[in-house]
Amino acid sequence: MHLTAIVAHPDDAVIFCGGTLAKHADRGDDVTIVYMTRGEYGGFDTTEADIATTREAEADAGAETLGAEAEFLDFEDGRIRYSMENRLQLVNVLRKHRPDVVLTHFRDDMHPDHRTTSRLVSDAYYMCSLPLLETESDPWEPQNVYYFGKPTSSFEPETYIDIGDYQSTKEEAILEHESQVEWLKEHGGVDVEFDGLIEDVRAENRVLGRTRGVKFAEGFVPLHKNATEYLGSM
């Protein structure tokens, strides 16, 4: 199978679904992470271009640690907008990669880029199988979309993935985002739940795991409620 995660910023995939991505890659699935932006607002005392260069390199390294391929789109950090043009760009992304399952942000999130990405991906999913809608790639119909969320939102998981064997891989991938580990220490108050990034992510995964009797877990909300073998629902 092919699993594609579409995320707003370079560290979003490793933080919210890195264990699941690593688990699927390890079982031989094709895993791709599509980054909407290069996260050029996420830093101090330097230029947007410098931050973007650093964060792209970190994202490449994080994806490699998880066993995933990486692709970058050219949206601007903090300025992702909902439009038909952008929706069609995401339609073509889905058609190009032809994923069975798509992972993306939950609709209710503090960050405007996360909310807009969620809406764009959801609507692109709806449109990408339409035979009369022409893009560079042929129509494709993913089987489902799974949303991940932040603990500050109304997100309540319905699908849980046991990542006990992959928590350490996830943390290694997070540590590749060295600039963000430091940025979030200084950026508390907005992203306060992640101001101690590794410790807080580990705690969140441990809490989710305890609800299912495993050591660590990640949680998702599926768009469709139909049963599926994908994501290894517990």
CATH no. for residue 206? Answer: 3.40.50.10320
What are the mean pLDDT values of the chain's consecutive 10-residue runs (234 residues total)?
96 96 97 94 80 92 98 95 97 97 95 96 97 94 94 86 97 90 62 68 95 96 72 54
Q: Is residue 229 part of a domain?
A: no
CB atoms within 10 A of CB 122: 18
- pTM reported for the whole predicted model: 0.91
- For residue 46, the enclosing domain spans 2-224
Backbone phi, psi, residue 23, to 5°: -65, -45
CA dist., res. 38 & res. 69, Å (int): 16
Q: Is residue 231 part of a domain?
A: no
Sole residue written with tokens 């947007």: 48
Backbone phi, psi, residue 197, to 5°: -55, -60
Angle made by CA atoms 221, 104, 21, in degrees to the nearest 5:
90
Q: Is residue 234 part of a domain?
A: no
CA dist., res. 222 & res. 144, Å (int): 7
Positive or negative: CA dihedral 111, 116, 118, 121: negative
pLDDT at position 187: 62
Q: Is residue 106 part of a domain?
A: yes
Q: Assign 54 to helix, strand or coil.
A: helix
Q: Is residue 17 part of a domain?
A: yes
pLDDT at position 51: 87
Q: Is residue 13 part of a domain?
A: yes
Q: Are strands 69-72 and 30-35 parallel, antiparallel or unpaired?
A: parallel
What burial letters (b/e) apply to 40-76, b meaning 16+ CB within 10 Å?
A: bbbbeeeeeeebbebbbbbbbbbbebbbbbbbbeebe
Domain count of the fold of the chain: 1
Q: How many CA atoms lie within 13 A of 47 on its CB side?
A: 3
pLDDT at position 226: 66
Q: Is residue 151 part of a domain?
A: yes
Q: Give 3-state DSSP helix, strand, coil % of the chain, rounded to 5.
A: 45, 15, 40
Nearest in space to 145 (alpha carbons), one of 30, 63, 225: 225
Q: Is residue 230 part of a domain?
A: no
Positive or negative: CA dihedral 17, 23, 24, 25: positive
